[in-house]
Structure formats: C-alpha cells, structure tokens
Amino acid sequence: MKFEEGQWRILPGTEAIYPATVTDCVVEPDALTITGYDHVIKDRNDYLHGTIITARFSSPAPNVIRVQLTHFKGRRDKQPVFDLDYAATNQAVTTGQNEHQAWLKSGNLTVCVPTQGAWRYDFQRDGERLTESDSHAVGLFTQNGQTYIREQLSILAGETIYGLGERFGPFVKNGQMIDSWNEDGGTNSEYAYKSIPFYLTSQGYGVLVNHPGKVAFEVGSHHVSRVQFSVGGHSLDYYIFGGPTAKDALDQYTALSGRPATLPDWSFGLWLTTSFTTNYDEETILANIDHMEELGIPIRVFHFDCFWMRELTWCSFLWDKRMFPDPAGMLRKLRDKGIKVCMWINPYIAEPSPLFAEGQQHGYLLHDRDGNVYQVDHWQPGLAFVDFTNPAARAWYAGKLKDLLDMGVDAFKTDFGERIPTEVRYYDDSDPERMHNYYTYLYNQTVFELLETVKGQGQAVLFARSATVGNQKYPVHWGGDNSSTYESMAETLRGGLSLGLSGYGYWSHDISGFNGTATADLYKRWVAFGLLSSHSRLHGNTSVRMPWLFDDESVDVLRFFNQLKNQLMPYLRAVAKEAHDHGWPILRAMTLEFPDDLTCRTIDMQYMLGSALLVAPVFSPRGEVNYYLPAGEWRNLFTGEVTTQAGWHKGKYDYFSLPLWVNVARGDQWECLKATLQIKN
C-alpha cells in the first residue's frame, strides 16, 4: 500500500504524520519504550497541537525482539490475535543506557534507541547493523477516510527477501507489492491460499507482523531500500527473529507460533483420489485400486472428493446412497487392503443441506449485520458459513465428522476457507477483517484436534488448502488449483519453496496439475517431482490420474518413483523429525541449506529434499535440465557418479531419471541414504 509519491510528496488525498523527535525514553529491566513526537522541538510552542507515537521493545525469547507501535493507547484491543506463545519469558534479556542511547539486548540481537533527539532505532546482531527504522519509516496515515500505521525496515545492498506464504510468483520478493489476504485465485495469479505475514532475508533474520487481518507489504517497491508493512488502525506489532541463519530464524519463529505435528508413516505414501467432477462409485473405485495393485503400485491413501455427498448439498456429511449404498462395507474393504481413507470437506453449509436448518436454529452459522444468516449463491446454493468462534458450533461440526471417523475414515481434506466475508457478525464479536485470514486457523484446528482425539497424537492428518500463521501445526497442506502445464509445475514449486520459508514443514501438490489433463510427457515428469515431495497425491478436476490412461510407460514411471520414495522413508522420517523439532521444511529452497552461496539465493527450479538430497525436476519436454551444484562432494543417487565440480551443469534425462544428487558431507543423512538405497561406492 502506497502513501507517498516518491521521496518528497504525499499521495493526493493522503495525510501523513511521522514521529520526528524522541521526547521520552523509559528503560525497564526487561523492556524499553520511546515516545516520538511529530514536531522538531525549537521552543515551547512546538509542544502544542502534536501527535505522539510510542515504540515498546521487549523480548519473549533469546534472539527475538518484539516491537509494539501505538497511537491512541486507549483503544480497545481487537480479536482475534494469532495463537502465539505470549506467555514466553526471556530471563536473559538485558537493558541499559548512556547519555545518548538506550538498548535492549536479547542473545546476540540488540535494539538501540536514542534517549533524545531525532526518532530512529536500529537492530544489531553481534554489534553489526542488521536492519533499522530510520527517518519517516514509521508513519500514521489517513487515506480515503481510513487510518493506517506503517513501518519500514531497511534492506542492505544485495539483500534478498523470501516467504510471505505460498506465493506462486517470483521466488525472491524484492520489488513486489504483496497483500497478506487469503484468496481462492489458483496458482497462476498474484493471490494466495496461504498468506503468512512473515518473511526471511538472506541476512539470516525473519520478521513476523503480528496482525491476523490484511497486512500490505511493499518489498523494496514503494521505497526501494526498505521493506514496508502497514495495517489498518492505530497500532502495529511485529517481531524480529535474529537468526543468525535462516534456519535459526525459522526455529525461533516456529517456537513462538507452533511446530508442525508428527505425522504417521502411511501419510508419506501414494495418495489416489476420485478427482473432482469425475463419475465414480464403489465399483469403479475398487477396480482402480485393484488395478494399481496388480501393476505393483500400492496405494496408501484413497481420497473421496466432493461427490461422495449428493450434489448441491455440500456440506451434508452424508454419503450419496445412489453411488454408495453401503459406505461402511466399502470402507471395510479398503481397510482390509491396508488403505487409509480421506474425505473431502469444507466449512460451508449449502441451503439444501439437511444441516442448514439445524445450524440456523442453534446459531451455528455466521450472521450478517442485520441478524440474518449470511448467505451467498457461490459454489453451492444459499451457502452459509460455520461460525467457528462459537464453541458449540465447533463441537457440532466436529460431531458430524466423528460419525465418519467411527465409520472408518482416517483423514480429511479440509478444502476452502479463503473467501471469508467481512460483512458479518461473529458469535464472539471478533473483528471481521481480522477473522478473514484467521478463520482457516479455527477451521483446521477444529478438525485436526478431533483427529488427534479419536486417532491419537501422531496419527492426525489433514490435506488443507487455506492457512495463516500457526496452521503449520496442522499438516499437511497442498498447493491448490494448478494446471496441466510445465509453467504451472514451475509456479507450483515456487509456491512450495516460499511456503517452506514461512514455517511450513510439509507440503504437497496435485501431480500433473488439477485443471486440464496433462500429456503423457508432462505426467511422467511431474510424477518424479511429486514422488520427491513430502506428500504425493494423484488428483485432477475433470479427469482422473491413473497412469494407464496416459500411456504404458507412465505405469512404469509411477511404479519406479513410488518404489524410490518407499526406499527413502528412513531418510524422510529423519527429515520429518527436523520439521517437527525446528520448523524446517522437508522441501527446502537451496538458499536455506547454502546461505553463503550467492548463486543459491535466486534458484527456484530445484530444491533440497531435506539437507542431503538435491532434486532438479525436468521442466521441458526436451528432457534437458540446467542445475546447480554448490561446493562439496556430490554423489548421483542413480549412478553412483561422484563429482566435486561446483557450478552449473546440463544434462538430458529419460523419464526414469532426473538430477538427484546426495551431498556426501551431510553426515548422518548420507549414511542413511547410502544404507537404504545401497548406493554404488
């Protein structure tokens, strides 16, 4: 969001106030506060008709500093707030001051503020400047009748910015304007299903804007040497995670916001679905599963998409008995085959659903400002929204799902949760703007906690689309509606890399694309990428994704990479433990593992699967790949070839291969891979 017109002018229709002079500095044992006045003080007349903004600095944990900017302290706090560990205390924090400045030190991270004079503050790590908020960085603005407060943190020359959720555009965020506001926009747009107001930088620190509603980011765009973030209202709250590496910053951030749960081994196996609008019944489902098994491609999870329920009734949570006359019996047959079952759901109730009247009667649905049930004719007729701020509504919704779990269901695909209206009234009077993104947290939390209660900890699995800060605790998440093209395959990877740098440990995507039907060539290339991701699902829109529908070789390719992933399971378990313990993603951007390699900072067409395995998918029907090996000893997983030649490499690959290299220096991971796959010496 822009407020100024270059360096010298304010945009038309905008009023701006900047703190100019520090008039007070209060140092406490565990915090410090400065007061900024919008006048430069020359005489006593300058103390009249002014505005003050305060900045309070504290530390919940070592190497983490919280900043709270406030104008008008008498305003009531709005709900909801992110589910952070606000009770965390840092016994090691120290404060101090001298004649000219005061400071708060937390671990290796320090914030320094002036005790008087011009308003500014800077953050240092080990005594060197990390970032700063300089003149006119903090501002209070009125635009189109609305009030906004903003911060700008400096970017060093050559510094690169990452994260901000699952973003399908350029991997490096410098130069972009990004609104943290969930939308159902597909993967070929600037919109995001998972908006996370958290970013990482190549300097090895992270920033979380602690605001669940819309946060407008200008990343080296409005002011080319600053990251700007602004929110509506009179206060702004953010945290700086000092690193010193991006891995450390992710560890610090997820310690505060939550770590990914432990997942069962079966979730890492191959998922097959009915796909969206395809015709299916018990007979076709069982026949497809049997054929996959006959071909040597075992399925670990079978997913029933939307039409397990009768059309126009989503969600009713009732089986369509025309297609599934004996659902309990069918689920027993799947269970006897050792296959887990996932069911599609969403948080909306259509008017024709038998649940609509029940939800309306008991007040379980969102209301408009006149007290009516809020309804829209979108997706389903007369659609209403479950009000997850109402504890009784959460219990009611979970109770419907428990009936399915009791029948033999194992997991849920928690679809949707992005287009949440703001013209509504919540049970607990939450602010609708702040609830737009946060709705998905309550939705997925409700379902995941039910699964943990029924199945036990370590056995709960979602396949979720929408997310915000904290949703990483409720995995897995998938990338949404991509398309059957190489370009969409690349944008899908960019989204996964960005989400991984936003604190999400697990991530998946629709193999060969959701929209359209892939060529046999693309299908086989995407299978390799999909089976070398944390979770692997064959899913589509108007067509199914069984390999024999593409060509005979597709069967062999899927079998090959499915077997490879099964062989990799001991390694993936070790990497998954890192996700649970530290918040590090399984699918990692190159720069996360090689932060000192300048080339890795911009690479977004290859990745590290864990810390030891480099994967470069094939993004061309020619089968050619340009890929980069950082310095070190690398061993080809397929051939046993060893190289220490760092730099760019080029090769041409058949459908049973791609650049797949092991970093031998990665200690235990290398030994695990070597023992598991019996790599040639």
Distance CA 219, CA 230 (A): 12
Burial (CB < 10 A; 0-12, 13-18, 19+), residue 73, is: exposed
User: What is the token pair recorded at 54?
Assistant: 């305060």
The whole-angstrom distance between residue 245's C-alpha and the CA centroid of its chain comes to 20
pLDDT digits (tens, 9 = 90+) for 421-436: 999 999 999 999 999 9
DSSP state of 42: S
User: What is the token pair recorded at 240?
Assistant: 């700086």
Could you count the other beta carbons within 10 Å of the beta carbon of residue 100?
10
The neighbouring-strand residues paired with 643 are 634
Binned at pLDDT 50, 70 and 90, residue 681 comes out as very low
7-11, 130-134, 344-348: lowest mean pLDDT where? 7-11
Looking at residue 509, what is its pLDDT? 98
Q: What is the mean pLDDT of residues 214-219?
A: 98
Looking at residue 209, what is its pLDDT? 98
Distance CA 196, CA 211 (A): 10
DSSP state of 307: G
DSSP state of 309: B
Q: Is the pLDDT of residue 668 over 90?
A: no
The residues annotated as belonging to the active site are 415, 418, 481
Backbone angles phi, psi at 228, to 5 degrees: -105, 140
Could you count the other beta carbons within 10 Å of the beta carbon of residue 3?
20
Distance CA 500, CA 164 (A): 10
Q: CB within 8 A of 196, min separation 6: which ones?
A: 163, 164, 165, 166, 180, 467, 468, 469, 499, 502, 503
Asked if 610 and 620 touch (Cβ cutoff 8 Å), the reply is: no
Q: Is the pLDDT of residue 396 over 90?
A: yes
Asked if 386 and 349 touch (Cβ cutoff 8 Å), the reply is: yes
Asked if 411 and 461 touch (Cβ cutoff 8 Å), the reply is: yes
Q: What is the mean pLDDT of residues 385-393?
A: 98
Short-list 275, 345, 342, 340, CA closest to 303: 342
Short-list 621, 613, 622, CA closest to 676: 613
Backbone angles phi, psi at 83, to 5 degrees: -85, 75
Q: What is the mean pLDDT of residues 485-493?
A: 98
Asked if 200 and 186 touch (Cβ cutoff 8 Å), the reply is: no
Q: Could you tell me how many residues make up the chain?
A: 681
Distance CA 433, CA 76 (A): 15
The dihedral region occupied by 132, where left means phi > 0, alpha psi between -120 and 50, and beta the remainder, is beta
The CA-atom distances, in angstroms, between 479 and each of 117, 163, 241 are: 49, 15, 27
Short-list 453, 448, 459, 456, CA closest to 264: 459
Q: What is the mean pLDDT of residues 651-656?
A: 98
Packed helices 667-677 and 569-582: angle between N→C axes, nearest 10 degrees: 150
Q: Is the pLDDT of residue 678 over 70?
A: no
Q: Is the pLDDT of residue 680 over 70?
A: no
Looking at residue 528, what is its pLDDT? 98
Q: CB within 8 A of 622, min separation 6: which ones?
A: 652
The CA-atom distances, in angstroms, between 634 and each of 217, 231, 307, 643 are: 39, 46, 47, 5
CATH superfamily, domain 578-677, is Golgi alpha-mannosidase II (2.60.40.1180)
Architecture of domain 265-344+401-414+439-573: Alpha-Beta Barrel (3.20)
Looking at residue 672, what is its pLDDT? 75
User: What is the token pair recorded at 289?
Assistant: 């599963």
Give all strands (DSSP E) within 424-474, no chain letters.
424-425
Looking at residue 263, what is its pLDDT? 98
CATH superfamily, domain 4-77+88-257, is glycosyl hydrolase (family 31) (2.60.40.1760)
Mean pLDDT of the chain: 96
Q: What is the mean pLDDT of residues 610-625?
A: 97
Rounded CA Rg of the chain = 26
Packed helices 391-407 and 327-336: angle between N→C axes, nearest 10 degrees: 60
Residue that is written with structure tokens 């009249």 in the block = 48
Give the neighbor-by-neighbor strand order of the sheet with 121-125. 94-97, 101-106, 109-114, 121-125, 128-133
Q: Is the pLDDT of residue 72 over 60?
A: yes
The neighbouring-strand residues paired with 629 are 647
Could you count the other beta carbons within 10 Å of the beta carbon of residue 360?
17
Looking at residue 669, what is its pLDDT? 77
Interior/surface letters 463-496, b for 16+ CB within 10 angstroms, e for the rest = bbbbbbbbbbbbbbbbbbbbbbbbebbbbbbbbb
Short-list 554, 542, 654, 658, CA closest to 297: 554
Q: Is the pLDDT of residue 560 over 90?
A: yes
Residue that is written with structure tokens 């075992």 in the block = 298
Distance CA 476, CA 316 (A): 24
- Strands 31-37, 121-125: pairing is unpaired
Looking at residue 671, what is its pLDDT? 75
Could you count the other beta carbons within 10 Å of the beta carbon of residue 670?
20
Looking at residue 336, what is its pLDDT? 97
In three-state form (DSSP H/G/I as H, E/B as E, the rest C), the secondary structure along 570-613 is HHHHHHHHHHHHHCCCCEECHHHHCCCCHHHHHCCCCEEECCCE
Q: What residue type is 522 in one-letter code?
A: L
Residue that is written with structure tokens 């409005």 in the block = 222
Asked if 409 and 331 touch (Cβ cutoff 8 Å), the reply is: yes
Asked if 161 and 173 touch (Cβ cutoff 8 Å), the reply is: yes
User: What is the token pair recorded at 447?
Assistant: 């379902």
Judge whether 4-77+88-257 and 265-344+401-414+439-573 match in fold. Answer: no
Distance CA 656, CA 530 (A): 13
Q: Percent of the chain scored above 70 by pLDDT?
A: 99
Asked if 405 and 328 touch (Cβ cutoff 8 Å), the reply is: no
> How do the domains of the chain map onto residue ranges?
4-77+88-257, 265-344+401-414+439-573, 578-677
User: What is the token pair recorded at 465?
Assistant: 């689309």
Asked if 561 and 527 touch (Cβ cutoff 8 Å), the reply is: yes
Distance CA 550, CA 412 (A): 28
Binned at pLDDT 50, 70 and 90, residue 674 comes out as confident
Interior/surface letters 627-652, b for 16+ CB within 10 angstroms, e for the rest = bbbbeeebbbbbeeeeeeeeeebeee
Helix (H, G, I), strand (E, B) or coil at 266: helix
DSSP state of 303: E
Q: What is the mean pLDDT of residues 82-89?
A: 94
Q: What is the mean pLDDT of residues 139-155?
A: 97
Binned at pLDDT 50, 70 and 90, residue 675 comes out as confident
Q: What is the mean pLDDT of residues 361-378?
A: 97
